[in-house]
Amino acid sequence: MRITEKVVAASVFAMLAGCSLFGSKDTKTQPAPLVELKGAMTPKTVWKYSMGKAGNAVFTPALSGDSLYVADADGALARLDAASGKQLWRVKAGSDLTAGVGTDGDVIAVGGVKGAIIAFDNSGKQLWTAQASSEVLSSPVVGGGVVVVRSVDNLITAYEAKTGVKRWTVTRTTPALTLRNAPGMVVNGPNVYIAQPGGKLLALVLATGLQRFEVVVGEPRGATELERVTDIAGAPVIFENDICAVSYQGRVACFDATTGAPHWSKPTSSDKGVAVDQRFVFVSDDKGEVAAYSRENGSNAWKNDKLSYRNLSTPVSFGRAVAVGDYQGYVHFLSREDGSFIGRTATDGSKIAADPVIAGANLIFQTQSGTVTALAVE
């Protein structure tokens, strides 16, 4: 995670998160050691696939139907069978990439260096290219016949999915300091929901860009600009008629996805996204604690603080477990009911920054070194 002052980026993760993963002498912020798990379940590796490294970007796989789309910083884009990991095609985008992948199964969009937007059809053939107003770190989203792109200057633009013709543009102001991360977007029905710097969640009509609502997840507080950074982290998640999100130095909150009416909010701080299931909302915070909140009223169900300062990924609810990756490429499985450890497995030793993806019976992680791993559990 980095802070961006307008367009100038400064690598201050340790200052913001209050920790350093490497070289710190402060034992309070050292990554928690891993304890041996006895009698735990053993996750099974179903398949692995090798992409290139992510570099400073984050490439979360995108699922559509039975296909998984993956990309890397060197410009490779691949379509895999999500069940077996079999490569269906692999192409070069013609540019190094900074964001990806977004798809509706027919059109696949990625973000290239210097704000390039590149779209492909589901056979891997390039359809069109476009130019964003500035660098693109957030994965594009595709739906309703448009590709929606958010650039780091907080300009939101929709392009015709088949042709790349610009359909609409929405501008939002950007605070003096923002996290240099990839605030996400999600398409649901006729709307697109967009995580914003400054702690706001914006809902727009896909077809026109008209605003449905704008709500506050985390309100900036503090005397300095640094203390007032409260960007929404990761992608908002829709479950039934709820939309939930979390902000840095702010709150985790759920709203009505149609009207924006607030359901509940609780103080927390995270630079990752949330996971939501029938009963709980899960957050891994910036100290490495994983917490479960009641989806109904936000009451705290449990908290696990045994992964402190391991720079956790967005969690995911998967069967009886909640899974989360860490900076060493481990995937930890916690009990969905009480947060206790029930399993662990290793990937390739590199950080897991991308959001996990559920594909049928498989749970899929992509590491920063490019290993895409599908796991199954009991």
Of residues 126 and 182, the one with the higher pLDDT is: 126
Of residues 100 and 376, the one with the higher pLDDT is: 376
Q: Which helix (H) or strand (E) holds 158?
A: strand 155-160
Residue 19 has pLDDT above 90, yes or no: no
Please give, one letter per residue, the 3-state secondary structure of 128-188.
EEEECCCCCCCCCEEECCEEEEECCCCEEEEEECCCCCEEEEEECCCCCEEECCCCCEEEE
- Lowest average pLDDT, out of 224-238, 268-282, 329-343, goes to 224-238
Report which DSSP code applies to 59: -
Residue 13 has pLDDT above 60, yes or no: no
- Lowest average pLDDT, out of 28-32, 200-204, 313-317, goes to 28-32
Q: What pLDDT is stored for residue 16 in this prediction?
A: 38
Of the candidates 176, 164, 182, the residue with the CA atom closest to the CA atom of residue 117: 164
Compute the distance between CA of residue 354 and CA of residue 346 in angstroms, rounded to an integer. 16
Q: What pLDDT is stored for residue 3 in this prediction?
A: 47
Residue 295 has pLDDT above 70, yes or no: yes
Compute the distance between CA of residue 317 and CA of residue 183 in angstroms, rounded to an integer. 20
Average pLDDT over residues 324-338: 97
Residue 41: which pLDDT band, with cuts at 50, 70 and 90?
A: confident
Of the candidates 168, 175, 215, the residue with the CA atom closest to the CA atom of residue 194: 215
Residue 288 has pLDDT above 70, yes or no: yes
Average pLDDT over residues 42-57: 95
Q: What pLDDT is stored for residue 176 in this prediction?
A: 65
Starting at the earlier edge strand, list the strands of the sheet with 166-171. Answer: 141-143, 146-150, 155-160, 166-171
Q: What pLDDT is stored for residue 224 in this prediction?
A: 80
Domains and CATH numbers, the chain: 19-50+280-292+300-378 (2.130.10.10)
Residues 6+ apart with CB under 8 A from 223: none
Residue 133: which pLDDT band, with cuts at 50, 70 and 90?
A: very high
Starting at the earlier edge strand, list the strands of the sheet with 250-256. Answer: 232-239, 242-247, 250-256, 262-268
- Adjacent-strand bridge partners of 190: none
CA diameter of the chain: 57
Residue 343: which pLDDT band, with cuts at 50, 70 and 90?
A: very high
Compute the distance between CA of residue 94 and CA of residue 350 in angstroms, rounded to an integer. 26
Q: What pLDDT is stored for residue 27 in this prediction?
A: 54
Q: Where are the alpha helices (DSSP H) in 25-109?
A: none
Q: What pLDDT is stored for residue 181 in this prediction?
A: 67
